[in-house]
Amino acid sequence: MRVMVVEDDEDLRLAVTTELAGAGLTVDQTGAIGAADAALSTGDYDCVVFDRMLPDGDAITYVHRRRQEGWAVPVLFLTARDSLADIVAGFEHGGDDYLVKPFAVAELTARVLTLGRRAGTGRPSVLRHGDLEMDCARRQVRRAGVLLVLTSKEFAVLEYLLTRPEQAVPRTELIEHCWDSSTDPMSNVVDVVVGRLRAKLRKPDLIHTVRGRGYRLAS
């Protein structure tokens, strides 16, 4: 899951970003609507956490406009505005959830995970390929019935490949979906993670290198 956090309080933004990343999510973060719009217009996200009152405007206005354009990414509004009218307005203008400050970061993480899963309801919660099985909700992976211990990044890469079996997935696409926007697309981070995955998945190899393209999850 890739998430955007838009919050102008740097300490709070860092706390939220750290918690979400610790839950295995890929997190991009910014403190303004303009910067968020640039990223959301070019990248694919599973959920966006918006503080309402930002230096360049009220996020509710931005989300309302994007919804009218057909934008469907789940949005959680994070705000100190706790009146019933504010909460109702958040939902009426395109919000999918609304969390009032102060809040428990663990609760925010649970809500983001729920929104991300809800957005992907067309995809089964358990992904299978041969003798490989991934339970996305429980974040468990088994091969031939044996439970594997994966890092959050290994899980993210394998999950993305499992949603595209037998397809050649470019390294740049894996970076876009499994790393944050600060990652150099020319780095070898994908190759390193895939190498560790191959070792943990054991023989016979499931992840094949497609010369000049990337990687493919094959039978």
Task: Kindly report, residue by residue over 152-174, the tens digit of the pLDDT.
Answer: 889 889 988 998 888 999 988 88
Tokens coding 132: 């490989």
Q: How confident is the model at residue 120 (pLDDT cuts 50, 70, 90)?
A: low
The residue assigned the tokens 């044996």 is 146
- Which fold, 2-119? Rossmann fold (3.40.50)
Residues 122-131 have a mean pLDDT of 79
Higher pLDDT, 137 or 4: 4
Report the percent of the chain where pLDDT is more than 90.
Answer: 58
Query: What Å distances lie between residue 24 and 29, 87, 150, 209, CA to CA?
Result: 15, 29, 10, 25
Just give the CATH number of 126-217.
Answer: 1.10.10.10
Is residue 59 scored above 60 in pLDDT?
yes
**pLDDT number for residue 124:** 66
Burial string for 171-199 (b: 16+ CB within 10 Å, else e) reads bebbbbbbbbbeeeeeeebbeebbeebbe
pLDDT tens-place string over residues 180-209: 777 776 778 899 999 999 999 999 999 999
**pLDDT number for residue 24:** 81
**pLDDT number for residue 218:** 87
The ranges of the chain annotated as CATH 1.10.10.10 are 126-217
Instruction: Report CA torsion sign: 192, 196, 199, 205.
Output: negative
The ranges of the chain annotated as CATH 3.40.50.2300 are 2-119
**pLDDT number for residue 136:** 79
